[in-house]
Amino acid sequence: MNPFVFHVPTKIAFGEGLASGTADIVKELAGSRALILTDKPLMQTGIVSQILEGFADMKYVVFDDVPPDSDVDCVNKVADIARAEECDCLVAIGGGSVMDTAKVVNICLTLGGEILEYQGLNNIAEQLLPLVAVPTTAGTGSEVSMVAMVKDRAEGKKLLFGSRYLAPSVAVLDPLLTLSLPPKLTAATGLDALTHAVESYTAVISNSVFTDSLCIDSTRMIFENLRAATKNGGDIEARSQMLVASTMAGVAFTNSGVGVVHALAHSVGAKFGTHHGIANCIFLPHGMQFNMDAVNERYAKLSRLVGISSSRKDSVAAAELVDAIEKLCIDCGLPRRLRDAGVPELKSDDIEELAFLTGSDPAIMFNPKDCSPEDIKGLYERAY
């Protein structure tokens, strides 16, 4: 057996209505002044106000202006507020952007100094303040991941932070919070989770039975429930399964990495603002075809284990998995080409730039097969 390291620093709690008890979880973590991060659309749904009712007997401050693709300015602004209010714990209620912002604010708040000092991998060597993550989408896995990304708009870059101390202390999984997610966002975030599971299962260091188990079961749960969650948002069982599957895939990818699909999605997102889940769902079949000769056997195994294929022939079983993903995307109404997702015509300069961004994305390091700039350009051309 190959060597592996597996971390689950986050306590994971699941239950319908559990989020209303978030304040009690904060108190268990000895928090006395909470910084609560969220976004404007969530404030308007009333989800946050229900959670805030539990904080009535403790001090807290709410920052509700985290943008969809958060940035350094937002982090610095929130960190200043938290310092002024002497906050000693954080609560993130929202999707990936809110949770990632909270993680980076936590670095600034706990360790002080400039945010750029902590950019990188394994730089943070001490416990940060307690952070409770309450995801309102089922896809990013940020509620359990040990990484965070925020934009440096002035420099036009994404900053990556990675450390096991970045993982939230507690993830509160309450499916009721995902009921109001519109169908397209439900489908797109669900495909983000599926991409985490499939890429983690075949990542270059994915040798652990722990990550394998999480990838296999989360893939199965997504195939069984994403259509229902998308078509009937009120299906609480489908929502529950999707939320748990997303977190499972999150634990898997934070331990084993992802791959070329994520590198492509990050790049197209950075250049054109394409939604991460949408980009992943477009690139996933192309990325799998590209990796096919390297991990055909793994795809085939996954295909059989989740009940998609009964073929003994690896090439057939693996192809059936790719087809099943394609069909899932179509059934959920997701775009199948970049041009259908609002990406303008890709000129050769665009493809050069995208290939550079993709080649320098850390996710690509975990891909099971080396990707040359020409390979990456080919993937963009096929996905367009």
Partner 1 sequence: MQFFANTDELHQVMKELWARIGRDPDMSEKLLQSKLIVQFQYREPEGRVTVDCSDGKEMRVTVGKQPIKPIVEMSMKADVAHDFWLGKVNVPFAIVSGKIMARGPVAKALQLLPVIKPAFEIYPNVISQHKKVMA
Q: Which residues bind partner 1 (CB under 8 A)?
A: 3, 5, 117-123, 157, 159-160, 162, 164, 203-205, 255-257, 359-362, 365-366, 370
The sign of the torsion formed by the CA atoms of 39, 226, 376, 147 equals positive
When the beta carbons of 164 and 184 are compared against partner 1, the nearer one is 164
For residue 255, give the nearest of 306, 199, 191, 194 by alpha carbon: 199
In the complex, minimum distance from the CB of residue 323 to partner 1, in angstroms, rounded to a whole number:
29
Pick 108 or 187: Cβ nearer partner 1: 108
Give the shortest CB-199-to-partner 1 separation in angstroms.
Answer: 13
What is the C-alpha separation between 199 and 141, in angstroms, rounded?
Answer: 14
Q: Which of 111, 110, 90, 85 is nearest to 101 (CA)?
A: 90
Residue type, 179: L
Nearer to partner 1, 3 or 234 (CB): 3
Nearest distance from C-beta of residue 122 to partner 1, angstroms: 4
Take residue 282 and report the two structure tokens written for it.
């477009």
Give the tokens for residue 266: 């990050």
Q: Half-sphere exposure of residue 6, counting CA atoms within 13 Å on the CB side?
A: 16
> With respect to partner 1, which residue has the nearer C-beta, 330 or 365?
365
- Residue closer to partner 1 by CB (options 255, 303) is 255
- Cα separation of 79 and 86, whole Å? 10
Tell me how far the alpha carbon of residue 148 is from its chain's centroid: 10
d(CA 13, CA 157): 34
Minimal distance, residue 5 CB to partner 1, in Å: 4
* CA distance readout (Å), 46 to 94, 178, 278: 13, 12, 27
| Nearest distance from C-beta of residue 274 to partner 1, angstroms | 19
Beta strands in 50-152 (DSSP E): 59-63, 89-94, 120-121, 131-135, 147-152
Strand-pair category, 157-162 with 147-152:
antiparallel
Q: How far is the CB of 289 from partner 1 (least distance, A)?
A: 22
Nearer to partner 1, 188 or 364 (CB): 364
Please identify, using beta-carbon distances, which residue of 116 and 330 lies nearer to partner 1: 116
Q: Measured from the CB of residue 13, what is the shortest distance to partner 1 in angstroms?
A: 26
